[in-house]
Amino acid sequence: MIAAAALFALAAAQETDFPNDVLPHLTRLGCNSGSCHGSATGQKGFKLSLLGYDAGHDWRAITRELRGRRVDLAEPEKSLVLRKPLRELKHGGGKLIEADSEAHRVLLGWIRAGAPFRGPKPADLVRIEAEVGRVTAHYSDGSSRDVTRLALLASNDDAIADADGTVKSPGETSIMVRYGGHVAAVKVGKPFGPATRIAGRKNQVDDPIDAKLSAFGLEAAGPCDDAAFLRRATLDALGRLPAVEEARAFDGDRDVLVDRLVGGEEWVSYWTYLWSRLLEAKTPEFRAWVRTRIGGRYDALVRSLLVDEPHLYLGRDDPKRLSETVGQMFLGARWACAQCHNHPFERFSRRNYYEMASYFARVRVRGGKVDLEPRGELELEGKAVLPPFGSSVDRRDDLAAWVVANDAFARAAANRVWAILMGRGLVEPVEDLRASNPATHPELLDALAREFRRDFSIPNLVRLVMKSAAYARKPGKDDPFYGARAVKPLTAEVLADAIVQATGGGVPRAIDALENPHPLLAGQSLARTLNLMNGEWLNGRLRAEPVETLYLRTLSRSPSPEERAQWSGKDEDYLKDLHWALLNSKEFGSNH
Amino acid sequence: MCTRRQFLVGSVFGLTLSDALAHARGARAKSCILVWLNGGPSHLDMFDLKPDAPIEVRGPFKPGRTPLDGVRVSEHLPRIAKRLDTATLIRSLTSPEGNHDRATHHLLTGYRPTPALAYPALASVAAREFGVGKALPNSIAIPVPPPGSGAGYLTAAFDPFSVNSDPSRGFRVKDLDAPVPEDRLERRKAMLAAVDRFARGVEELPGRDTFLEQAFGLVTSRESRAAFDLEREDPKSRARYGGSRIGQSCLLARRLVEAGARFVTVNDDGWDTHDNAWNRLAGTFNQGKVVYRGKLPDLDEAVSALLEDLADRGLLESTLVVVMGEFGRTPKLNSIGGRDHWPRANSVLLAGGGAKRGQVVGETDALGELPALRPVMPEDLLATVYHLLGIDAGKEYRTSTGRPVKILEGGEVIREALA
């Protein structure tokens, strides 16, 4: 008993290090959250760094500003930093601490000790370790401590689990753990029922998918029929519907179909469109260049885009925008927030942000050409920021080599290809790969990235996914277990092309045009719905053809007996109205 | 506090629970008409004249009387001047953004533009808070929303519905008319329902059913279609608004609000008067073969008619009218007979819908360069508009990445602007 009390007193006496002992309490209490003093403009004249990323700044704000009233060394109890959250004084944030609570004790003890920045034995936090119900901090002097109660925990899906890891309903999510600028994620969840057996494996893609379905007690939908597979595969590979003749001729050999569709000229056109959107390729020259490269090695494409070609730089010569673009396009990283504050969910600081941008510090764009200046540096807080690695004359060589060798590069590409084909990324949002946002199937993302790294071939990766059983399931509930095929709305360009095709028209294709030549708007909206319902563009194309032909043209399948029985009319208006209904249907407007 | 009895009474008049709650928060306005003067209206030549300033600042327009003691506005706005006893004129709006799109984004979202996130503008927040609407969309733009404003992270589903046509010439709302007679439209609707019923495994396509229902509602509702039909307006009443684009747009806005629309944006171009400003504003000027009348007489006719008409119909109490543009213009005249962009001083007119009647809030310094009294930031102005509309500006939305963002960060309601 005595020993415990003595130990407690000793610990209390040592808790005078601002970054390690005091700041975690402020973060835990929410003082430096984005909606309180951590906002860009602070709150009522008191500004702290967001979630405490800048301990030095926060220490100065607390101990030096407002003529020392925030901490009163002569009468520690009178310090504003205590009286406000105790609600002894008016505080917009309300009462945050109780008298004699741990937070109160630590803050008061720290002020009594003279409110120093560092305690007697300063050590830096080097990493955190998280498991369900326990977070451990490890320091540079080899020590560690349990910080479970001080860490910030957030559930990525609070319908499934609470932040403390308590699972509320079947399913899986992760708990994001943040402490002292470090992040980690812990997966939590529980099955829907007893383990199931998943049949129909086709390739290595299916192993992690099936294992998870099985572990969570879920069933998998059976394979879709041949007509559905042909429509799905043609839309995903070529961005168009199968022609009526193709639908009639398909013999059901799916792997042969995939090999035939992927990698050919039409595939190149459609994937140029997809990748041009991602690369923001808005000029004909840029798109034409993507077209020549999309079927080849992706690492070479990116290296060439960063170093040899002007396309990426035109209209985008600010080093900071360029580095954000590189992060987002090629590494699936969102860096933009770090221009102003350290990334709140990632270990990426403002300094890192400027370091990345420094690779473009000497790039100048003049008259459609990229030049390199002999000198020039970015500055952060008045000091030049230099590249952290590499020594090439053209710094972009170093950056490009680093990007394509980066682990995130292959993962980001694999995640994109997966999302295009399967309707959702293994990591969502697709451009937000980070430790605190783990993949639903980490082993699958690793495997796809490993496979991709062999030859950096997008077509090969596409074929691999399209030949899996997971890709070929019947449509149904869209969830991250892939027990059924997700239903994807057609993009504006693909829908426009599909309407042209389903009404007997031909080229030019909207996916090849820079400006959408069709009056279709992107995204679901009232204006788009009205346009498809009443607009001349669609209504002027309607055809009066036999029901069988209309079904094959629009839905790429024959009508079922029930459907045949439903459509009894024969006159021109009737058939045109049916064509209209088919073109406005959910089955037509989606890839399923 | 909303007692059970009040709630029942409210229900009788067709108020929903959220309306009742909004009312309990002090909402005065059921609807809002935003008259947006796109390009940047010149505060110094309209609502904030400086007749005692040096000649290179004051410009040629003379101050004209208003019913308010000591308050003068441009001689070219005599009818609005007469209605100032029903309005609050804010002369001290100030913002840091001098580029059209950036300034518009700031003024209509309350946030400075950032590449990290596109924020939703007022009209989209209204669409989100009021619901998309049944037969009539709840947020409508005439003809399109101002560039720089949009639904941002709320996505296109909350874009205002654009009429995409000029109400002053050959007005026809795009795609509002079905290309087939009513019986065939009904047949199409039934056929589509049947095709969807048979659809194999395609149960859900996000947003699609909502918009389809709304589109059918809009196309088949006589009331909604009538609201868009300017030909139904009494010719005298039509003439009162003037034949200009802004006049007929304001008339359409009134018809839509009368029919139940909650937020209507009238977006008028031509206010970016870098050169030839006096003719552009108050004289005549040629653009190609078309001769335009100046912007000010058109605005004067349109806004005064709108305020009078709303008042005559008993709608002004429940309709907040906001007249403004993205920034003011440089106090010092430039060398080509105009003024350039000046975001640090800007004027706003608020009328009806719970805005205080007959006062001026704030003032600028002697040269109209900066607020000298009661500076108003974009977020303060928006906080006031949201307050009057009963929208809780502290409400948090989530972006696609799950980041929580409040409708507004840090704006304060302009208390003196409230009735």
Predicted confidence (pLDDT) per residue in A168-227, tens digit:
889 999 998 989 888 889 999 999 999 999 999 999 999 999 999 999 999 999 999 999
Residue of B nearest to A522 (CA): B156
Residue of B nearest to A581 (CA): B192
Set of chain A residues whose Cβ sits within 8 Å of the Cβ of B217: none
Nearest Cα residue to B322 out of B307, B301, B309: B307
Set of chain A residues whose Cβ sits within 8 Å of the Cβ of B199: 585-587
Domain boundaries, chain A: 2-112, 125-190, 309-393, 489-591
Asked if residue B343 has pLDDT above 90, the reply is yes
Within 10 A of B385 (CB to CB), how many other CB atoms are there? 28
Domains and CATH numbers, chain B: 15-417 (3.40.720)
Under a CB-based contact definition with an 8 Å cutoff, are residues A495 and A520 in contact? yes
Residue of B nearest to A536 (CA): B179
| DSSP codes joined into one string, A206-242 | HHHHHHHHHHTT---PPBPPHHHHHHHHHHHHHSSPP
pLDDT confidence of residue B27: 67
**Is the CB of B157 less than 8 angstroms away from the CB of A523?**
yes
pLDDT confidence of residue A268: 97
Phi, psi angles (nearest 5°) of residue B373 = -140, 135
Q: Tokens 């991602």 sit at which residue? A: A278
Set of chain B residues whose Cβ sits within 8 Å of the Cβ of A527: 159, 161-162, 164, 174-175
How far apart CA B358 and CA B68 sit, in angstroms, is 7
Set of chain A residues whose Cβ sits within 8 Å of the Cβ of B175: 527, 530-531, 533-535
Q: How many CB pairs under 8 A join A and B?
A: 141
Under a CB-based contact definition with an 8 Å cutoff, are residues A581 and B195 in contact? yes
From chain B residues 135-154, the ones with a CB under 8 A of any chain A CB are 137
Structure tokens at B171: 């007005």
Confidence bin at B355 (pLDDT 50/70/90):
very high
B187 touches A: beta carbon within 8 Å: yes
State the nearest Cα–Cα gap between B104 and chain A, in angstroms. 21
Beta strands at B139-142 and B161-162: parallel, antiparallel or unpaired = parallel
For residue A294, the 8-state DSSP code is T
A159 touches B: beta carbon within 8 Å: no
State the nearest Cα–Cα gap between B156 and chain A, in angstroms. 6
pLDDT confidence of residue B16: 54
State the nearest Cα–Cα gap between B277 and chain A, in angstroms. 32
Q: Which of A429, A432, A487 sits opposite B202 (nearest CB)?
A: A487
| Number of Cα atoms under 13 Å in the Cβ half of residue A186 | 24
Enumerate the H helices of B110-181 as residue ranges.
Answer: 122-130
Terminal-residue alpha carbon distance, chain A:
68
B220 touches A: beta carbon within 8 Å: no
**The Cα angle at residue A227 between residues A250 and A498, in degrees rounded to 5:** 100
Strand partners for B73: B64
Q: What percent of chain B has pLDDT over 90?
A: 78
Contacts of B317 (CB under 8 A, 6+ apart): B28, B352, B353, B354
Residue of B nearest to A437 (CA): B401
Residues B3-17 as b or e (16 or more Cβ within 10 Å = b): eeeeeeebeeeebee
Q: Which of A228, A523, A563 sits opposite B198 (nearest CB)?
A: A563
Nearest Cα residue to A111 out of A145, A83, A148: A83
**Is the CB of B215 less than 8 angstroms away from the CB of A530?**
yes
A568 touches B: beta carbon within 8 Å: no
**Is the CB of B198 less than 8 angstroms away from the CB of A41?**
no
**Cis omega (within 30 of 0) for bond into A508:** yes
Set of chain B residues whose Cβ sits within 8 Å of the Cβ of A324: 115
Set of chain B residues whose Cβ sits within 8 Å of the Cβ of A484: 201
* B166-185 confidence digits (pLDDT tens): 999 999 998 999 999 999 99
Nearest Cα residue to B254 out of B317, B305, B323: B305
From chain A residues 88-107, the ones with a CB under 8 A of any chain B CB are none
pLDDT confidence of residue B143: 94
State the nearest Cα–Cα gap between B118 and chain A, in angstroms. 13
Under a CB-based contact definition with an 8 Å cutoff, are residues A83 and A25 in contact? no
**Is the CB of A566 less than 8 angstroms away from the CB of B198?**
yes
Q: Which residues of chain A have pLDDT under 70?
A: 1-14, 336-347, 507, 515-519
Set of chain B residues whose Cβ sits within 8 Å of the Cβ of A429: 400-401
**Is the CB of B114 less than 8 angstroms away from the CB of A336?**
yes
Residue of B nearest to A44 (CA): B410
pLDDT confidence of residue B133: 74
**The Cα angle at residue B74 between residues B68 and B79, in degrees rounded to 5:** 65
**Is the CB of B195 less than 8 angstroms away from the CB of A590?**
no
